[in-house]
Amino acid sequence: MNAGPDPAGALSELLREASAGRPDAIFARIGARASDAPAALRAGAIDALADHYAARLAEADLPRGTRLLLLSPPEPRTLSAIVGALRAGFDVALAPPSLDIASIAAVAEAFGASAMAGPTEFAELRTGERIFEAAALVETIRLVALHGAGEAGALGLDEPLEGDAPSAAPTHERQLFAVDIVDAAPKCRSISQERARDVAREFVARAGVLGGGAIVSTISLASEAGLVGGAFAPLISGAHLIWQAPFAARRFLETLETSAPAHLIAPAGVAVDLGAAGILTADRLSSLTLAAVDAAPPPRFTHSVDPARVFVLRSGADAGLRLEAIAERAFGAN
């Protein structure tokens, strides 16, 4: 029996499907230092954790449709936090984990947030402390929720439930937003989960992801491109996903070496550096996808490019999210 679309949206629905059909698909983050232990979860565990986070957020008993600002580092628990907040009935804005206190507060005010959430720590960043300090600057904030190690005064998302949580019955269509900083002013742009799912399906088919190879992404989850490559595409394909974050050149090269030939997703602005590093070769990469905004010119390379497939993944308010193939596989310096 078909229960109908997931009220939390396409991302939640895909995670449910992956948990049932491909529960062992791995989502991993490789840190900057060799001593960093990889943070990894399987799709089934991410789905179960999302349900747990939804129940913990429901215990706060905030109105459905409450707006939550989520600091979103590229790591497995972030995916659980995004889906969990949507399942709990929140509208969610995704923001980079590197924002400073004043910027977090400004984004929360621009979004009309009543709640903030994120990891207690990410890499060397004390994100939980910054969230608390930002919350003190915004009068509308009624809840701070953190995942990871506990933080006094916050709703600990990883803590046990206090009995039966209130139902998260759908009373409105959940909305997902990405935060852009334009001319130093925060803008919250609506993300269509259905469009992101469709572009991810196109990427999986055209990049040959179903043919094998891991997806390696250096893109934040707090963006449409990051969601396509770091959430929708691996959930659709079952591909092993590796986030390289924080970025460090040596660890990045090691990751590509052990994952070759990989499907690499990176910002368009590093195209020249990728070529100079000598990694744009078919033995290292099955495909290369460069994330760019609508108005950005096509990427320029100063070295030859020979992955089988090269794309630009564009996002923005003007033309919407789309995948563009680059016909020429070799580019020369101007």
DSSP-derived secondary structure for 223-245: SHHHHIIIIIHHHHH---EEEE-
- Please tell me the total number of residues recorded for the chain in this structure: 334
User: Which residues are CB-contacts of 183 (< 8 A; sequence separation ≥ 6)?
Assistant: none
| CATH architecture entry for 193-325 | 3-Layer(aba) Sandwich (3.40)
CA distance readout (Å), 236 to 16, 198, 321: 11, 10, 18
For the domain bounded by 42-191, which CATH number is listed?
3.40.50.980
Instruction: Summarize pLDDT for 19-32 with one digit per residue, the tens.
Output: 999 999 999 998 87
Instruction: Summarize pLDDT for 84-122 with one digit per residue, the tens.
Output: 999 999 999 999 999 999 999 999 999 999 999 999 999
Token pair recorded at residue 287: 């495909």
For CATH 3.40.50.980, list the domain ranges present in the chain.
Answer: 42-191, 193-325
Q: Looking at residue 17, what is its pLDDT?
A: 96
**Residue 168 predicted with pLDDT over 60:** no
Contacts from 5-8 at CB under 8 Å and sequence distance 24+? 7/170, 7/173, 7/174, 8/83, 8/86, 8/87, 8/170, 8/174
- Enter the pTM of the model: 0.93
